[in-house]
Amino acid sequence: MTTTRPKGRAIARRKVMPNLALKWLGAGALGLIALATSAAVARAEGHEAVAVAHGVSNFGAPKYGPDMTHLDYVNPDAPKGGEIATWAQGNFDSFNNYTRKGVSGAGMSLMYESILTTSADDAYGVYCYLCETMEYPESRDWVIFNLRQDVTFRDGVAMTAEDVKFTHDLFMEQGLPEYVNVVQGFVDAVEILDTHKIKFTFTEQAPRREVISFAGGTPVFSKAWFEETGARIDESTLEPFMGTGPYQIASFDVGRQIVYERNPNWWGADHPFSIGTFNFDTIRYEYFADSSAALEAFKAGEYTFRSENSSKDWATGYDFPAVERGDVVVGELPDGTIGSAQSFVFNLRREKWQDPRTREAVRLMFNFEFSNESLFFGLYERVNSFWENSPLEATGAPTEAEIALLQPLVDEGLLDAALLADDAMMAPTSGPRNFDRRNLRAAAGLLDEAGWIVGDDGIRRRDGEVLDLIILSFSPAFDRIINPYIENLVRLGIDAKLERVDISQYVDRRRTSDYDLVNHTFSMGFEPGFGLRQWYGSETAEDSSRNLMGLQNEAVDRLLEHVIEAETLEELTTATHALDRTLRSLGFWVQQWFKDVHTVAYYNMYRHPDPLPPYALGQFEFWWHDADAEARLREAGAL
């Protein structure tokens, strides 16, 4: 497979900014800010220059100017109407994805918006959305958002600066500890200057490249609604929070279905960033226990859009009559985002996995080559980097600039000196058969060296303790992948087992770190920053939905600071290469696979821009419905 090297940032949604209290990927963080061409410059007290701009970028100018009429990649004449329906696995019992209590429903970000927004074709630009303009000094010690006066919540009540301040305070008081631990101390004050004018003043330690997007990236909730209902963001709830987004919940059946409807009074329908977007009247999620049941339901026309994540189903499951008739479109669409680093991760909180020799022995027994050929139909490539398939991926031996960052850590004994000369660590390779004797011998030697000795019963023990390993999973589709891995681990003398549980138990056991290996996906951005602490920082090791492995490493913490403090794209790239190289050397993961295309199937009544923007599939956002095509499908009995 030929891979592409994207030059921009991964964007999950254009208008619905990342929910920063839940996650922060560093995408769109601001720092050495380049003004848009239309930005005005004023003077603040102390004669410091102050920019007044509609959009900002750390590296070059934003793509879109203040007079843009619509995003380049949308169809501004896309018709409104129809429904798009997809599926989700497992169940849900909450409409709050800002807490670790309960299982949150799919699609909730459709209901919320943030002050700033991004686009799916601009690598680093961030734009006013709920604001008209932003003002900030060269020092980036503060930012003022001049809010739009036409923004309303879904109940029709106008949004004001008071709601923005309330929401910020709410996340700082009730937000996830892993988020609060990272961002606490960034903001010195939040001041309401007028009904639609709010100022964030930052502390000295706040990372200047990211302070503006941090302040403008949190979704805005209604203060009046929270005070009236007594809702909390740290509690599970089936009553969604009051937001300003384009969709609202029309109906739901707990654990079975969620239907979102477009808010007919949505304030943002005519906003330049909204033209040609959010075209469906309804967006429906159907829940199924597993992918096989969901695929059969798709064939029967029970829902209409499927983003396929099973290589087996992709290779063998799409030869049904509706495809042959052309009623269902099956195809691959380009994906220019960073390859998600899907993997199993070790629970480093357990003493037995703190020895790198033991971890490496387990890593050696996963045979990707066999899996790809025999199970995946050759559709995947191996993950090697946390920034796979991007310019931020470390390759080959370190450059002089990388060595300058790594050398002090080696001198202090925090990193192995081999890191300065060796090529970036790649995943182990195996032969075409699942059982690879060469890797078995290497793994056995590592375990012997670590003190895990094989007994007469074939099980390895150290000081009377059995070397056991539980792989936690909830998806039956993964059984065929995990079981061959289990077989290899048992041959090595490890008492390995697959424990497949329902989604509620799975979520709870991940939260309480009750596993040896668990599936995890590292979704990195093209502009990494302080959000990396949620993924890899020592301060989040004990309680994090991101740092599932419980990583606590001083060298990593120091390299994170270099990434966060980088001021130029060259510095950011160098620091990220050094971090990527170091993370890979620690071997706390068993790399899985990725692909650089979207594999989709949908009933032939949806249309999309051609070409798609590089950083989003956008099926809910900028695809649209063809009513005549749906009528033909229904007449033919396909739906």
Is residue 36 scored above 50 in pLDDT?
A: no
Residue 184 amino acid letter: Q
If phi > 0 it is left, if psi is from -120 to 50 it is alpha, else beta; for residue 191 that is beta
Q: What is the pLDDT of residue 543?
A: 82
- pLDDT number for residue 40: 55
| 625 φψ region: left (φ > 0), alpha (ψ -120 to 50), beta (else) | beta
Element (H, E) at 438: helix 437-449
pLDDT of residue 182: 81
> What percentage of the chain has pLDDT greater than the value 70?
93
Indicate the pLDDT class of residue 376, thresholds 50, 70 and 90: very high
Average pLDDT, the chain: 91
3-state class (DSSP) for residue 301: coil
Compute the distance between CA of residue 439 and CA of residue 82 in angstroms, rounded to an integer.
54
Distance CA 8, CA 320 (A): 38
Is the pLDDT confidence value at 11 over 90?
Answer: no
pLDDT category at 181 given cuts 50, 70, 90 is confident
Does residue 50 contact residue 66 with C-beta atoms inside 8 Å? no
Name the pairing type of β-strands 40-43 and 131-137.
unpaired
Distances (CA, A) of 520 to 206, 326, 473, 497: 29, 36, 11, 18
Residue 12 has pLDDT above 90, yes or no: no
Question: What separation in angstroms does the CA of 83 have from each of 112, 233, 448, 620, 623?
Answer: 20, 30, 59, 10, 11
Per-residue pLDDT band for 178 (boundaries 50, 70, 90) equals: confident
How far is the CA of 192 from the CAs of 37, 104, 127, in angstroms?
A: 28, 33, 21
CATH of domain 247-337+596-635: 3.40.190.10
pLDDT tens column, 388-442: 999 999 999 999 999 999 999 999 999 999 999 999 999 999 998 999 999 999 9
- When pLDDT is cut at 50, 70 and 90, the band that residue 34 belongs to is very low
Non-local CB neighbours of 230 within 8 Å, separated by 6+ positions: none
What band does 612 get if pLDDT is binned at 50, 70 and 90?
Answer: very high
- Residue 297 CB neighbours (<10 A): 15
542 or 445, which is more confident: 445
The CATH number of 343-594 is 3.10.105.10
What local confidence, expressed as pLDDT, does residue 47 receive?
65
Nearest partner of 494 among 449, 444, 450, judged by Cα: 444
- SS3 category, 247: strand
Which residues of the chain form CATH 3.40.190.10?
Answer: 247-337+596-635
> What residue type is assigned to position 79 of the chain?
P
Mean pLDDT on 86-105: 93
107: pLDDT strictly greater than 90: yes
Phi/psi at 136 (5° precision): -160, 145
Q: Tokens 């600066």 appear where?
A: 161
Distance from the first to the final alpha carbon of the chain:
35
Least confident of 7-11, 36-40, 164-168, 330-334: 7-11
Tell me the chain's radius of gyration from C-alpha atoms. Answer: 25
Pair type for strands 517-522 and 468-473: parallel
Scan for tokens 């018709």, then name that residue: 79
The region of weakest confidence among 3-12, 170-179, 623-632 is 3-12
Sign of torsion, CA 30 617 303 502? negative
pLDDT at 28: 31
3-class DSSP string for 470-526: EEEECCHHHHHHHHHHHHHHHHCCCEEEEEECCHHHHHHHHHCCCCCEEEEEECCCC
Question: Taking 80 as the threshold, does the pLDDT of residue 638 lie above it?
Answer: yes
Where, residue-wise, is CATH 3.10.105.10 in the chain?
343-594
What letter does residue 534 receive in the DSSP assignment?
A: H
At 44, is the pLDDT very low, low, confident or very high (cuts 50, 70, 90)?
Answer: low
pLDDT computed for residue 217 by the predictor: 93
DSSP 152: B
**SS3 state at 219:** strand
Average pLDDT over residues 302-308: 97
DSSP per-residue letters across 61-128: --SS-TT--S-TTS-TTPPP--EEEEEEES---BS-TTSSSS-BPTTGGGG--BSEE--TT-SS-EEE
What is the mean predicted confidence (pLDDT) over 285-304?
95
Residue 29 pLDDT greater than 80, yes or no: no
What does the pLDDT read at residue 26? 32
pLDDT at 313: 94
Tell me the pLDDT band of 579, cut-offs 50, 70 and 90. very high
- pLDDT value at position 42? 53
- Quick: pLDDT tens for 307-353: 998 999 999 999 999 999 999 999 999 999 999 999 999 999 999 99
pLDDT for the residue numbered 1: 34
Question: What is d(CA 545, CA 350) in angstroms, rounded to the nearest whole number?
Answer: 17
23 confidence band (pLDDT: 50, 70, 90): very low
DSSP string covering 335-377, please?
--SPBPEEEEEE-TTSGGGGSHHHHHHHHHT--HHHIIIIIST
